[in-house]
Amino acid sequence: MTKYIKKFTLDLENKIKENYKFSSKEISIIREKISDFQHERLIHLLVTLFYAIFTFIILALSYLNNLFIIPFLILIVFLIFYVKHYFFLENSVQYIYTLYDKIIKN
């Protein structure tokens, strides 16, 4: 998904720089893509939140038994990558909003 969003935004940026005139069908497709990206972002937010809750439950259990420290450390590493990816999605979608606004203005 990361490569796809980067390619999509790069294509939009290049077309905007070239003063490309978007047809109504192309604008509709862009809106659909934005909707898909928003859905992806929502799913990743939910997964990240549930994963974080699960990670902190394991942390709480590690206070009762030291054997839970190892799974906690593993989960925290994965959680860091989940959060990083979620922020990429969030920032990318917001950037695509600005590109879409530029397209609509022209």
pLDDT tens figures, 20-47: 888 889 899 999 999 999 999 999 999 9
Nearby residues of 99 by Cβ (< 8 Å), 6 or more positions away? 9, 12, 13, 16
Q: What is the pTM of this model?
A: 0.78
CB 89 within 8 A of CB 44: yes
The model's pLDDT over 43-77, given as tens digits with 9 standing for 90+, comes to 999 999 999 999 999 999 999 998 999 999 999 99
Q: What is the DSSP letter of 93?
A: H
Q: Positive or negative, the Cα torsion across 64, 69, 70, 73? A: positive
